[in-house]
Amino acid sequence: MTAYLLRRLALAIPTLFGITVVVFFLVHLAPGSPISGGVDSLRRPTGRAAEEMRRLYGLDRPLPERFATWISRAARFDLGESFVDHRPVSERIGEALPNTLLLNGLALVLALAIAIPLGVVAGGRPESAFDRTSGAALFALYSMPTFWAALLLQTLFSVRLRLLPLYGMESDVAGSGFAGVADRLAHLALPVTCLTYGTLAFVARLVRSGVAEAASSDFVLAARARGASRRRALWTHALPNALLPVLTLLGLVLPALLSGSVIVEKIFAWPGLGRLYFDSILARDYPMILGLSLLTAVATLAATLLADLATAAADPRVRDGAAP
């Protein structure tokens, strides 16, 4: 187990290095610069002003030198300063991170809490009326564009019914105590829903097919023969086996959630990492783009590693190297 962990960690280092090289050269070689803005920006200082800005940002140095400087500082946990407001990149990330974690954490917990029971009930009786209806509904959710769902939910709950706020993280005049919490929850409801349903559909379909397959297998039949109830056979015998592939894929759910976060945070004006990343790209804020890319790469690699370790811990065949 330790050797496996060490080998995985050793492999993660070249992977991380590869990601930083790709992102670094992509942003630096792309047309446009922090000084001239995007390809068709009107904000375009020229002459001495542009010269001095270039020197200030270190953009007058050759590319390999800039990369060496950046990576050696990054290795010491110094991600540099944002070009936009000259605050440390780590400070701006630190402000946005809790907001994104709150949004995505809630979405993930909610998705699993609904998807697993749904998958067990549907997979327990394949082709039943419930299985067919839930299957069709999940399929529809799976194909639904996040931003469309967001716009429809806003139209219904915020504009028509006036039940929930249109966007933002809290009201300007949010009360304290209970009122403050209620205000927070009201602001969370729509963005969390938008981030939840895709993961929910994905996981529920996986659990359903896993349970359906396990339900007809010998060990579940044996449990039934020993007198276990249908419910017990499904939940304690079929489900754990169906959860193994879910565990493996949870590592991939994190990048999917972060992707969704960009759109959801943009629509709901949520001051999180996704919006920060999008704004940084538009502003050609190289240090912010690089810092955020590094952070997400580390996070997703860690999540994949954790998922694999959990799989190894749960499945002796993986642990002993008998199966991939």
Q: Which residues bind other proteins (CB under 8 A)?
A: 11, 14-15, 18-19, 23, 26-27, 30-32, 38-39, 126, 139-140, 142-148, 151-152, 154-155, 158-159, 166, 205-206, 209-210, 212-213, 245, 251-252, 255-256, 258-260, 262-263, 266-267, 277-278, 281-282, 284, 289, 292-293, 296-297, 300-301, 303-304
* Residue 104 or 196 with smaller CB distance to other proteins: 104
The string of DSSP letters for 263-320 reads HHHHHTT--SHHHHHHHHHHTT-HHHHHHHHHHHHHHHHHHHHHHHHHHHHH-HHHHT
Q: What tokens does 127 get?
A: 């082709």
CB of 227 to other proteins, least distance (A): 28
| Nearer to other proteins among residue 45 and residue 255 (C-beta) | 255
Residue 176 C-beta: closest distance to other proteins, Å: 30
Convert 215-237 to b/e letters by CB count within 10 Å (16 or more is b). beeeebeebbeeebeeeebbbeb
Q: Choose between 26 and 56: whose C-beta lies nearer to other proteins.
A: 26
- Considering the complex, what minimum distance in angstroms separates the CB of residue 19 from other proteins? 6
Shortest gap between Cβ of 301 and other proteins (angstroms)?
A: 6
- How far is residue 255's CA from residue 276's CA, in Å, rounded to a whole number? 16
C-alpha to C-alpha distance for 99 and 169, rounded to whole angstroms? 9
Q: How far is the CB of 213 from other proteins (least distance, A)?
A: 6
* CA 116/CA 61 separation, integer angstroms: 54
**Residue number, 228 or 245, with CB nearest to other proteins:** 245
Choose between 8 and 228: whose C-beta lies nearer to other proteins. 8
Which of 295, 293, 106 has its CA nearest to residue 195? 106
The CA-based dihedral angle spanning residues 176, 158, 105, 142, taken in that order and rounded to the nearest 10 degrees? 170
Cβ proximity to other proteins, 80 vs 268, nearer residue: 268
Contacting residues for 145 by C-beta, under 8 A, at least 6 apart: none
Q: Which is nearer to other proteins, 225 or 269 (CB)?
A: 269
CA–CA gap between residue 191 and residue 163 (Å, rounded) = 14
Query: Does residue 35 contact residue 54 with C-beta atoms inside 8 Å?
Result: yes
Beta carbons of 228 and 306 less than 8 angstroms apart: no
Residue 301 corresponds to which tokens in the numbers above?
Answer: 């690699």
Which has the closest alpha carbon to 105: 205, 202, 196, 200?
Answer: 196
Residue 155 in tokens:
């139209």
Q: To the nearest whole angstrom, how small is the minimum distance from the Cβ of residue 196 to other proteins?
A: 17
* Distance of alpha carbon 167 from alpha carbon 187, whole angstroms: 7
Closer of 38 and 271 to other proteins (Cβ): 38
* Min dist. Cβ of residue 229 to other proteins (A): 25
Please say which residue, 84 or 228, places its beta carbon nearer to other proteins. 84
151 φ/ψ angles, rounded to the nearest 5 degrees: -65, -40
